[in-house]
């Protein structure tokens, strides 16, 4: 008897093949084989004239979706049909969540098998799990399929109905999404709070004391019996002490006077207190907590975390990575406890096996937490993994093992001291038993180092002791605005509020950044002016759609559809049709919304108007009869824009750029300007004869007011030729680029080898010898040279020009390279499985993809380049409808 088993990816197929008996053939569907039309080209001709055609959903007849096989999947479907011809049985072994169930259902609809069909599910790829799954096959769960289909249709209706409205009223290419728009609103709300925030200042004292030659610190907490003001006592909207707080607010002069008064006075311990506490280990990872901790500990984005976890799962290292559950199977608990006993000893085991309960709203995905696969956990060193895969597996292993370890026992120590009428306090912490700290400390890479950080040791002190004051410092403080969201904190907030599914958060955050709603700055997500405009429009005209409670209720209903508690069709009809439906709301408001108002971003304390234009945000000011406009640099966000910056931008527009001086060699004027990408210097004016004068960006951290004539001349001289490489004879240059200053070993056709400069290096003065030293160091991080690094795999040569086609790993993932054309690997393909034929198709498709076009507008001495997305023949081509 022969059996065909279909999974999603070649990696998963290759792993499962090892655990199946003879007679089983495993093939990959390469992800989804059927979906709603992604563009106008994919809409079947018989539907093109329908009013709802661009939606891909027949809203007039029971919300019937129009499914199509994407062009790139037709060969896959045909090969699966061919494989099916000679078998006696079909097993659909796609992932066990809603999406996996949906893929199996679509395969069934497309292949129309005439042999018996089984649905096989498992949450880890090990011999035992696969053998058990083979014995417990089931039928396709129609409720799960309906839930996924409803979610897909709902997201399509939301995105493809609202996005065109944003194009008309704000700017082309914007998108709205059921979860995406709520996430963007969270970022905007936080930025509004930061803009409205008023900082308050306060002063206090810190003492360095000594008892029996053991130093310790103590902070001022009271004065004449009253509490000293701290940051929590301030009202963020006024920058002053919150009304009703009875505290002492010291200014600098008062703090200095108090220090002088206390100098030389005796210190007395008035009270000591020790309080035992325990810390419990965190539960094993869910999709959400893995994304959060990976971002905090490893600095890995949600998108890269999920990509790496997917690979670890498909290669049999961890259990299924899309799950809301913190439950562990009995065999997993035993495996974790064996690891604890072998590596740390019996005393570090929890008294009894620990089982955890899922608390997140609507938990539904897989039935077990993310953990190492199998009934024996391989240590990270035993896996043979490296790089990001090793780091993520190590994180998962430690968290899983730690959850079966004993609680950490600590003692909190508080010592109160008095000097004159000033009260001071010292706080300490002693670890009596580290427990799970030995394996895992949340947010910390090194548990051993973390143990030291956890302890704050105080010398033995008792009431009546008189420690010596070695030093007394006056400290000034400023209250800080609320922190911006990071990927980790945004994921945490979305999950805690029940908005969206954790498995989609990675793609949502990527979309927010790609669509220009947010910039990433040192892990923080900073909303742009475009985000402010879009959120304001949605809040004013579609408040429910960006309300977290409303969106959370939508998620609950989708979960109820999955369990059969709610019906999918009535829900879609209520959401989209009728007087309160989305379709009617948009049609009514399309004429009510004034584009001029929609494009405007209202910012307090600014006399100028900020608007969203075709080429990005700009300032608009009325000066007499004339309206003055000036583009806002890309790196300026709403929270950064100040009246001073507005004045500088307008001055440059009305009076021309600031003059730095004359170039010592040419005699031309050097100007200082602010463009879309920030401040820069320019040699001479832009004229008809000289449309592109020499320019040089200011290095990061250099303020326009600090630019000297020597610095400007140096920047305009970049790239600097430092010399020729002693081995290759090729040029070595220093210059500034998108990611900062660098040196490059330019070998022409052989490629370019780049190295970023260190903090202590200056691009204007770096020597040839220092450049050679940097180039000799191993390459790491972003900016790795594609031309000189070794390919992951050589596929062959292109039939047209005989140039090589190779596979490389870059900062954004695996890609295929031929000449100057790069194409990413499609879903389901790996470095090992992709063929030269497939690569040629991908490269051909990439080469014919319309590129971004640049348009130039010249005003005075400045030429501003602005980028717009190439428009296509249908609205559907640029709308994102994923969540």
Query: Residues with catalytic annotation?
Result: 320
Q: How many residues does the chain have?
A: 883
Residue 585: alpha-carbon gap to chain centroid:
32
Using CB atoms within 10 A of its CB, is residue 320 exposed (0-12), middle (13-18) or buried (19+)?
buried
Q: 806: which strand partners?
A: 794, 817
- Give SS3 for 669: strand
Q: Which two tokens stand for residue 163?
A: 């996005």
| Nearest alpha-carbon partner for 28 in 19, 41, 43, 15 | 15
The three state secondary structure string of 355-394 is CCCCCCCCCCCCCCCECECCCCCCCHHHHCCCHHHHHHHH
Q: What is the DSSP string of 272-323?
A: EEEEEEEEPPPPPB-HHHHHHHIIIII---HHHHHHHHHHHHHTTSBS-S--
- Give 504: exposed, middle or buried? Use CB within 10 Å, 0-12, 13-18, 19+: buried
Query: CA 354, CA 336: separation in Å to the nearest integer?
Result: 10
Residue 126 backbone phi and psi in degrees, to 5: -130, 165
- Cα(58)–Cα(52) distance, integer angstroms: 6
d(CA 715, CA 704): 13
C-alpha distances out from residue 794 to 618, 804, 817, 824, 836, Å: 47, 8, 10, 15, 9
Q: Angle CA(138)–CA(139)–CA(143) in degrees, nearest 5?
A: 120
- Kindly report whether the peptide bond that precedes residue 719 is cis, defined as omega within 30 degrees of 0: yes
Q: Are 328 and 336 within 8 A, CB to CB?
A: yes
| Cα–Cα distance, 870 to 867 (Å, whole number) | 9
d(C-alpha 713, C-alpha 487), whole Å: 41
């Amino acid at each position: 008897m022969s059996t065909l088993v279909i999974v999603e990816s070649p990696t998963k197929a290759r792993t499962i093949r090892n655990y199946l008996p003879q007679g089983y053939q495993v093939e990959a569907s390469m992800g989804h084989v059927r979906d709603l039309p992604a563009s106008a080209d994919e809409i079947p001709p018989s539907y093109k004239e329908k009013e709802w055609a661009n939606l891909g959903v027949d809203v007039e007849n029971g919300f019937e979706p129009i499914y199509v096989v994407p062009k790139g999947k037709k060969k896959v479907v045909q090969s699966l049909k061919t494989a099916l011809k000679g078998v006696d049985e079909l097993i659909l072994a796609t992932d066990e969540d809603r999406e996996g169930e949906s893929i199996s259902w679509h395969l069934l609809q497309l292949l129309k098998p005439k042999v018996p069909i089984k649905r096989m599910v498992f949450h880890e790829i090990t011999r035992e799990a696969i053998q058990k799954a083979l014995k417990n096959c089931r039928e396709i769960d129609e409720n799960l399929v309906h839930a996924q289909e409803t979610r897909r249709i709902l997201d399509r209706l939301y995105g493809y109905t609202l996005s065109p409205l944003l194009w008309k009223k704000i700017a082309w290419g914007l998108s709205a999404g059921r979860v995406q728009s709520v996430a963007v609103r969270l970022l905007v709300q936080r930025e509004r709070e930061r803009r409205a925030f008023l900082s308050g200042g306060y002063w206090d004292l810190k003492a360095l004391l000594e008892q029996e030659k053991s130093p310790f610190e103590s902070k001022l907490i009271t004065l004449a019996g009253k509490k000293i003001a701290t940051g929590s006592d301030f009202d963020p909207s006024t920058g002053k002490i919150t009304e009703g707080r009875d505290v002492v607010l010291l200014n600098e002069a008062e703090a200095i006077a108090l220090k002088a008064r206390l100098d030389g006075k005796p210190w007395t311990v008035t009270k000591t207190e020790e309080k035992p506490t325990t810390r419990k280990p965190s539960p094993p990872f869910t999709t959400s907590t893995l994304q959060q901790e990976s971002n905090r500990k490893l600095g890995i984005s949600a998108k890269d975390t999920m990509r790496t976890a997917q690979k670890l799962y498909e290669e049999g290292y961890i259990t299924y990575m899309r799950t809301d559950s913190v439950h562990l199977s009995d065999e997993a608990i035993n495996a974790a406890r064996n690891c604890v006993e072998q590596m740390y000893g019996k005393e570090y085991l929890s008294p009894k096996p620990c089982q955890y309960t899922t608390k997140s709203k609507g938990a539904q995905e897989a039935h077990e937490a993310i953990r190492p696969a199998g009934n024996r956990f391989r240590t990270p060193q035993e896996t043979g993994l490296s790089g990001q895969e090793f780091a993520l597996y190590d994180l998962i292993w430690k968290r899983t093992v730690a959850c079966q370890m004993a609680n950490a026992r600590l003692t909190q120590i508080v010592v109160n001291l008095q000097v004159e009428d000033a009260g001071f306090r010292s706080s300490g912490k002693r670890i009596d038993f580290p427990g799970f700290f030995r394996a895992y400390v949340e947010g910390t890479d090194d548990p051993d180092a973390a143990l030291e950080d956890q302890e704050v040791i105080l010398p033995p002190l008792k009431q009546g002791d008189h420690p010596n004051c070695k030093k007394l410092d006056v400290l000034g403080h400023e209250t800080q605005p609320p922190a911006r969201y990071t990927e980790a904190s945004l994921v945490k907030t979305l999950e805690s509020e029940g908005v969206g599914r954790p498995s989609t958060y990675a793609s949502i955050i990527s979309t927010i950044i790609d669509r220009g709603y947010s910039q990433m700055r040192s892990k923080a997500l900073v909303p742009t002016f475009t985000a402010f405009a879009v959120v304001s429009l949605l809040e004013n005209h579609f408040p429910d759609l960006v309300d977290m409670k409303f969106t959370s209720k939508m998620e609950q209903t989708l979960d109820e559809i999955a369990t059969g508690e709610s019906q999918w069709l009535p829900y879609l009809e209520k959401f989209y049709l009728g007087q309160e439906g989305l379709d009617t709301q948009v049609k009514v408001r399309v004429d009510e919304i004034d584009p001029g108002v929609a494009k405007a971003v209202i910012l307090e304390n600014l006399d100028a108007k900020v608007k969203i234009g075709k080429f990005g945000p700009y300032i608009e000011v009325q000066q007499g009869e004339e309206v003055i406009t000036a583009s806002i640099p890309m790196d300026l966000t709403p929270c950064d824009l100040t009246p001073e910056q507005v004045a500088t931008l307008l001055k440059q527009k009305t009076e021309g750029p600031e003059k730095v001086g004359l170039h010592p060699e040419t005699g031309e004027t050097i100007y200082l300007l602010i463009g879309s990408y920030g401040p820069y210097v320019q040699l001479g004016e832009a004229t008809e004869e000289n449309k592109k004068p020499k320019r040089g960006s200011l290095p990061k951290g250099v303020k326009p007011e600090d630019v000297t004539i020597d610095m400007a001349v140096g920047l305009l001289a970049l790239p600097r030729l430092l010399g020729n490489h002693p081995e290759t004879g090729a040029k070595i240059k220093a210059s500034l680029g998108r990611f900062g200053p660098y040196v490059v070993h330019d070998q022409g056709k052989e490629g370019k080898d780049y190295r970023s400069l260190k903090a202590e290096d200056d691009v204007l003065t770096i020597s040839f010898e220092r450049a050679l030293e940097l180039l000799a160091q191993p390459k790491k991080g972003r900016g790795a040279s594609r031309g000189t690094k070794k390919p992951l795999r050589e596929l062959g040569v292109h039939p047209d020009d005989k140039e090589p086609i190779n596979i490389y790993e870059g900062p954004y993932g695996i890609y295929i390279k031929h000449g100057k054309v790069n194409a990413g690997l499609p879903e389901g393909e790996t470095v090992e499985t992709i063929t030269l034929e497939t690569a040629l198709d991908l490269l051909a498709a990439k080469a014919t993809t319309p590129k971004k076009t640049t348009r130039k507008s010249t005003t005075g001495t400045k030429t501003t380049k602005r980028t717009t997305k190439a428009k296509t023949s249908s609205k559907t081509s640029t709308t994102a409808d994923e969540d």
